[in-house]
Structure formats: C-alpha cells, structure tokens
C-alpha cells in the first residue's frame, strides 16, 4: 500500500461508497449451508494425491526416472488426457489427440533438447507448440514444489501446461492467434486446469484424489507461488498474471467448465485484471511499515468506506490483540462489548513485512506476507463491528465469509481513492494471508474460518469485484 501519497479525494469524497445493505438474517440454515461448500461440493478433508490403486500410465516419456516427481508428472499427463478425451468431443465437438512427445529433464543435469531448445538451467515446466510436447524439470522445479505444497502442486503445474496443448487443439474455438497476448493464453490455461480439478474433486479421476479443503488449498498455493512478481504489467510479453488473476481463472474453470475458459479473451478479462506496474509515485514499491501512522490512515480509509452503513465505527486500539472479556484472536480481535478492534502492533508489523520471494521459493521463512496482509487482518476485525452494527450475525461460517467479502469491497474502494491506496501486489498479499491456516480475513468473531481456502478467496474476490451488496446476499 501507499500511505499518504494521494490526497486528491479526502474522506468526504468517498462517503457512501459502501452503503451496506446488511440485514439481520444470520442463522438462516439454508444460506449457512450454501456458504460452507466449494461451489456446491462438500468441504472434505483427506490426504490428496496419487491414488493407491492408480493404474500405471501407458505413456512414453523421454529420459524418465523413478522419482516421485516423474511418477506424479506422468500420472498427471495420463489423467488430463483422459479428462480432455471426454471434454473436447463433448464441449467442442473436437476429437482429442494426445501430445506427440513428453520429456522429463534435470535443469541442473545433462542437457536435453526438444522443439523449444535446450533444457539446461531451465527451471520450468512447459508446453512446446513447435513439436507438440510437454516437458518438465524433475530435479529442481517439481521437487521444490512438492516439498512446499505437496503432490498436487505437480498436478496443478502440468494441468496448466496441458491447457496450452488444448489451446492448440481448439484453435479458433479458443480464439487464439499469433497476436493473442500471453496473459490471455495463461488465463485460459489456468482456467482449463480448474475445469480438470473439478472433475477430480467430483471423484472422476482414476489417478488422483483431491479434498476440497487442504487439497484445493495446495493447488491454489501452488498457483500463488508461480504468480508474477508485483509491479509486472498485464501487457508484458511474459505476463502470466497476479495470484489474484490466476486464481480467478482457475476458479472460473472449476465452476463453469472449459467452454467458459475458451471464451476468455483480452476484451472480457481486461476489466477484471489486477496486474499493473507500480505507480511512479510509489517510491517504496508498495511496502508501507505497519505503525501507528499507517494504522491511523487505515482507520480513516475504513471509516470513509463504511460511512454509508450509518453505524458507529469501531475504535482501533493497540492493546495486545485480545479482548479483555471476549474473543481472543490475536494479533487482532474484535471486541463486541465496547465495539473496538484491539491489535498487537509488533506482531502485525512482523506479518506485514515485505515478502522475500527468494526465500519463498527455497521454502525458507519468507519474512512477512506484505503490508496488505496485516492491513487486511485489521480491516477484517473492523468490518465485524460494522456487521454487528447493522444487526448481522458475527459468529458463524457465513459471518467469516461475509467478512472476507467486505474486506474485498473495502480494498476496491481503497484501490481508487483515499489516503491509503492499494498498490501493485497488495491483492496478492491478501490472498497470501487468506491461504494461511490461521488467517483472520475470513474468520468470524471467534477466529473460526471456513476450511476451504477456495471459498475464502472467492468471498474476498466477490467483494473486490462487485462491492458490498453481494456480501450480504450470498453470505446472508
């Protein structure tokens, strides 16, 4: 975020932006059930990954080994081929053709070649259109990802790469030409991966199990890791998307299926893409220190955004992060007794430190999650005060999701005006926070959260893209 840089519009200028239509309807059993699903699928918990009784894939992979990475990669290709073998004829009237070749290589080992050149030092997994092949680095990329996010990270990456092979097969039906910007191809590939994941989550895969809680969390975290770095432009030739944009595409595929993925083009994705370069005035590249001053600016931003709710805004006090007689959800708690948010400033300052992306890749402690992660935690507790003020429930699954949605709605307001402005990379910091197991952003007043990161992220995005109205409609 950028504090104090833009003062074109004072607080009065954004009055009423989030005129909450909140009504007191907490506890409706129907909507409570609806919210606590993953797009209609039950929230499940079990070990995700290769099934014990998975068949041996009948595929020819050049330079293949017995490594876990190769086993997972090969099974993924066999599985996505089975998926597209059903989906291409059914959805597009196209007969499916497997890719012509597959290559496993070691980026730190002997060089291999395919239609796209040398593999030495190429820490990557990719589809190569020149010879219709898929290749993956089994020595660095895949093991790193497995170590951090488990076996489904390999599935996620290769289902995405195979999505590019599908684009080649669909041709005009995916609207891809030589002039198509990279970001469109990438959005489609993430979306196709999401469609495949739905099929796995529904139990249709011979090879993989995926639980909708921890399993999908791992898939989304993998997409998070391969996001573009903050400040990339969406029109950059190499742009693959922010985590926010990539997860949007993945979830679109999961919820709507491949036809909607193939319909993605620059025109219809442009309005929702969040990727943009740093503002020239943003000298700190978006990193604001979490201190008394920036928390005061945050409070001002929240007050202005929620002014339209016509309720008494909660105070924010640096008081240790637990309520004296009430919920303790440090590092920030909402205390219904005196309508205050109490925070542990040093703990939030640590959480809000910039992300060390090199450490993140190495699986080391990546420092903080960025300033917006800390701001979102505080904002989430603040919105509970607003929700309580208008008579909404604050202690159930819907309240948690409504909270995430309202944080998103506030972030959208903050992206446009006010003293504390959203900067490039901030939304990804919110996603990073939401995917943490102990995040408060989608938690109710007692710190309870819906287990599915998929549902938490979706709730925040709904608010960001559509404002506060759906927060109350969807999470009654």
Please report, as ranges, the residues that interact with Zn ion according to CB under 5 A.
186, 189
Tell me the closest approach of the beta carbon of residue 160 to Zn ion, in angstroms. 6
17-43 burial: b if 16+ Cβ within 10 Å, else e: bbebebeeebeeeebbeebbebeebeb
CA-nearest of 12, 5, 55 to 300 is 12
Start-to-end Cα distance in the chain = 30
Nearer to Zn ion, 103 or 412 (CB): 103
Tell me the closest approach of the beta carbon of residue 439 to Zn ion, in angstroms. 28
Tell me the closest approach of the beta carbon of residue 126 to Zn ion, in angstroms. 7
| Cα distances (Å, whole numbers) of residue 76 to 206, 221, 300, 393 | 10, 18, 49, 43
Distance CA 307, CA 410 (A): 11
Unique residue bearing structure tokens 């429930």: 393
**Pair 387, 25: CB distance under 8 Å:** no
**Residue 136 C-alpha from the chain's centroid:** 24
CB atoms near residue 58 (< 10 Å)? 7
Nearer to Zn ion, 223 or 422 (CB): 223
**Pair 297, 419: CB distance under 8 Å:** yes
Nearer to Zn ion, 200 or 226 (CB): 226
Nearer to Zn ion, 141 or 189 (CB): 189
Nearer to Zn ion, 186 or 287 (CB): 186
255-265 burial: b if 16+ Cβ within 10 Å, else e: bbbbebbbebb
**Pair 440, 380: CB distance under 8 Å:** yes
Distance CA 208, CA 201 (A): 9
**Pair 318, 299: CB distance under 8 Å:** no
Residue nearest to Zn ion (CB): 189
Nearer to Zn ion, 249 or 452 (CB): 249
Tell me the closest approach of the beta carbon of residue 168 to Zn ion, in angstroms. 12
Nearer to Zn ion, 189 or 424 (CB): 189
HSE (side-chain half, CA atoms, 13 Å) at 471: 37
Nearer to Zn ion, 246 or 388 (CB): 246
Beta strands 420-421 and 2-3, pairing class:
antiparallel
Nearer to Zn ion, 189 or 452 (CB): 189
In sequence order, the β-bridge partners of residue 317 are: 342
Tell me the closest approach of the beta carbon of residue 127 to Zn ion, in angstroms. 7
């Amino acid at each position: 975020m950028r504090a104090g840089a833009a003062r074109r519009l004072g607080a009065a200028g954004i009055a009423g932006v989030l005129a909450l239509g909140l009504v007191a309807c907490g506890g409706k059993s129907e909507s409570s059930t609806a919210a606590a699903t993953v797009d209609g699928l039950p929230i499940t918990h079990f070990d995700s990954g290769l099934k014990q009784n998975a068949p041996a894939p009948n595929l020819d992979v050049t330079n293949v080994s017995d490594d876990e990475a190769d086993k997972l990669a090969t099974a993924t290709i066999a599985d996505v081929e089975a998926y597209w073998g059903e989906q291409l004829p059914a959805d597009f009237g196209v007969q499916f053709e497997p890719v012509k070749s597959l290559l496993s290589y070691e980026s730190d080992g002997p060089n291999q070649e395919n239609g796209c050149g040398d593999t030495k030092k190429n820490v990557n997994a990719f589809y190569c259109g020149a010879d219709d092949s898929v290749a993956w680095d089994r020595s660095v990329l895949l093991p790193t990802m497995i170590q951090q996010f488990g076996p489904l990270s390999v599935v996620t990456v290769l289902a995405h790469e195979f999505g590019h092979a599908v684009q080649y097969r669909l041709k005009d039906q995916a609207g891809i030409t030589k002039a198509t910007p990279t970001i469109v191809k990438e959005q489609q590939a993430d979306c196709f991966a999401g469609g495949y994941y739905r099929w796995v989550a529904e139990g249709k895969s011979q090879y993989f199990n995926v639980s909708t809680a921890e399993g999908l969390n791992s898939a989304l975290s993998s997409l998070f890791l391969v996001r573009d770095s903050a400040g990339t432009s969406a029109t950059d030739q190499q742009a693959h998307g922010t985590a926010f944009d990539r997860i949007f595409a993945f979830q679109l595929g999961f919820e709507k299926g491949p036809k909607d993925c193939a319909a993605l083009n620059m025109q219809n994705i442009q309005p929702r893409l969040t990727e943009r370069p740093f503002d020239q005035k943003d000298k700190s590249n978006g990193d604001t220190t979490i201190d008394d001053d920036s928390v005061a600016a945050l409070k001002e931003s929240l007050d202005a955004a929620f002014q339209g709710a016509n309720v008494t805004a909660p105070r924010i006090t640096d008081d240790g992060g637990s309520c004296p007689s009430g919920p303790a959800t440090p590092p920030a708690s909402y205390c219904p007794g005196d309508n205050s948010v109490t925070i542990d400033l040093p703990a939030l300052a640590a959480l809000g430190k910039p992300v060390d992306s090199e450490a993140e890749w190495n699986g080391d402690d990546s420092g903080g999650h960025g300033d917006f992660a800390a701001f979102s935690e505080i904002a989430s507790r603040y919105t509970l005060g607003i929700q309580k003020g208008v008579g909404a429930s604050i202690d159930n699954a819907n309240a948690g999701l409504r909270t995430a949605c309202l944080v998103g709605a506030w972030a959208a307001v903050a992206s446009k005006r006010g003293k504390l402005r959203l900067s490039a990379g901030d939304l990804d910091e919110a996603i990073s926070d939401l995917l943490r197991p102990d995040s408060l952003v989608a938690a109710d007043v007692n710190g309870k959260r819906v287990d599915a990161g998929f549902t938490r992220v979706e709730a925040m995005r709904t608010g960001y893209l559509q404002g506060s109205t759906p927060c109350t409609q969807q999470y009654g």
